[in-house]
Amino acid sequence: MYDEMDLRHEFVQFLNENGKLKETANLPNLADDQLIDMYEWMVKMRLFDEKMLRMQRQGRIGTYAPFSGQEAAQIGSAYALREKDWIFPSYREMAASIVHGYPMEQAILYMKGHLQGGHTPEGLNIFPVQIIIAAQILHAAGCAMATKLKGEDDVSVAYFGDGATSQGDFHEALNIAAVNKAPAIFFCQNNHWAISVPLHMQTASQTIAQKAVAYGMKGVQVDGNDVLAVYKVMEEALVRARNGEGPTLIEAVTYRQGPHTTADDPTKYRDKKEVQDWIENNDPLSRFFVYLEEKGLMTEARHEELKEQFNTEIEEAVSHAEAFEPSTTDQAFDYVYDTPHKLLARQKQEVQRLLAAKGGN
């Protein structure tokens, strides 16, 4: 049991910044092949992120929100999920979504603005990307309540940044989920910056995790660049949710290495030395590599082989996505309602007439 009046939260960390295992570490029960698999996901998603950033600069996709630096937070948490658990992502959770089963090709279509890109494959429990800050947190709370009413043991996970905790939706979602002991996990990636607003201007509380106290739920702060600690904290939160003990607020302390989006210039508000320090001394991939190397599970040579393999895989996904015919304006009407009504059909016909007259799409 946790003390509802205790605002202090242990900072859960198993691997320090140098990749060394702490003596007090209570490691998750993961086999060697699972450890390697998590590292491979981290490498693949770093390469994917870098590729998407280049593609945006080349005009091949639209505005993009990079996640480099946050791989441990996303992959460590998503790796702990069951297939039928629900993910409610913001615009920066492509890594978590892909680990949970979202095809890379589909993700690229979404970033190209293709209507098919917003269609979640059948049987995959991932809600569409939410652009409105914090709105997905309410959706996760509602889904978790529905799951409980139906007697299912699936857990709903909302991903969001530190900036979202200033929105009313965040507080409303936590409140209703806690009151109803809904099987939900509110996963905050505290990357220190809400666009150009630093954390100390976002909240006066010492931690984001302690906000859970006000709603009567468990709050945990974890080193978001330590994939093992993230996995363990997430695993424990999932058990609590499935056992009917209610929701958990997890604050994963991490860092956004790049811009907020490709429309942002972080050099206008961030100190270059701060960024460089996080990249050189606190990178989640480097830290996990050291740990695996000392266990005899990874080498520099194998790392380079993985990069070559994954770059090929990513290029294939890009090629498939770019082979799709571009969406046309009139097709947008097919994605509004499951069963189109007469007014919508007339509007679609009008757009088609206009397109035919202009000879465009």
From 25, 27, 65, select the one nearest 259 (Cα to Cα): 65
- Burial (CB < 10 A; 0-12, 13-18, 19+), residue 146, is middle
Of 9, 92, 240, 260, the catalytic one is 260
Helix, strand, or coil (residue 81): coil
- Burial (CB < 10 A; 0-12, 13-18, 19+), residue 189, is buried
Give catalytic status of residue 269 as yes or no: yes
Q: How many other C-beta atoms lie within 10 A of the C-beta of residue 175?
A: 15
Strands (E), the chain: 11-12, 86-88, 156-161, 184-190, 193-194, 197-198, 218-223, 248-253
Whose tokens are 């960390």? That residue is: 13
Asked if 246 contacts 181 with a C-beta cutoff of 8 angstroms, the reply is yes
Give catalytic status of residue 260 as yes or no: yes
Query: 3-class secondary structure for 262-303?
Result: CCCCHHHCCCHHHHHHHHHHCCHHHHHHHHHHHCCCCCHHHH
Of 269, 335, 346, 353, the catalytic one is 269
Of 100, 139, 192, 256, the catalytic one is 256
Question: Which residues are part of the catalytic machinery?
Answer: 256, 260, 269
